[in-house]
Amino acid sequence: MEQTKNFLSKAIAEQKLHRLALEVAETLSGDDAPLILIGIRNSGMVVAEKIGTFLKPYISTPMEIISASFDKHVPKEIVMSKEVDFNDKNVIIIDDVSNSGKTLLYACKPLLNFYPRRIQTLVLIERMHKLFPIKPDYVGLSMATTMQDHIHVVVSEGEVAGAYIE
């Protein structure tokens, strides 16, 4: 029987998301380019929505939140929830957990047809098993895990309710 271990409560997740939003606001301070947050389907989109909510009081530039969907195992086609002109915009790709870097890397693919001002990445939880050349710019929590461990971020009613390792 597999054991699970809770390591992130709803309250701690909220604190980490707020801190991440403050870090983003600090980085973008003085930059007047519009901001686009791209949440990677499901849990990444919930994290993006929360970051957007926390960011609003701290930035004055226009902000838009969209989602990206694709098969994480064979990411041939990346579908954005809305067509957006990414030229001269600040873009942050957001996911719940970064493991190998593959998902964040492939989420950049549609952006290669544009000339964004900056592309950054944000994850609530980062694992240390990089196989692709992506290191998140903003990290809520870094965890050293084994390759056999699986991290689950629990989302309920549009909120990050916690996370556990299995």
Beta bridge partners of 80: 68
The span from the CA of 95 to the CA of 92, in Å, is 10
| Per-residue pLDDT tens digits for 2-57 | 556 788 899 999 999 999 999 999 999 999 999 999 999 889 999 999 999 999 99
CA atoms of 54 and 75, how far apart (whole Å):
30
pTM: 0.92
Residues making up the chain, counted from first to last: 166
Q: Which domains occur in the chain, in start order? A: 16-145 (3.40.50.2020)
CA atoms within 13 A on the CB side of 157: 2
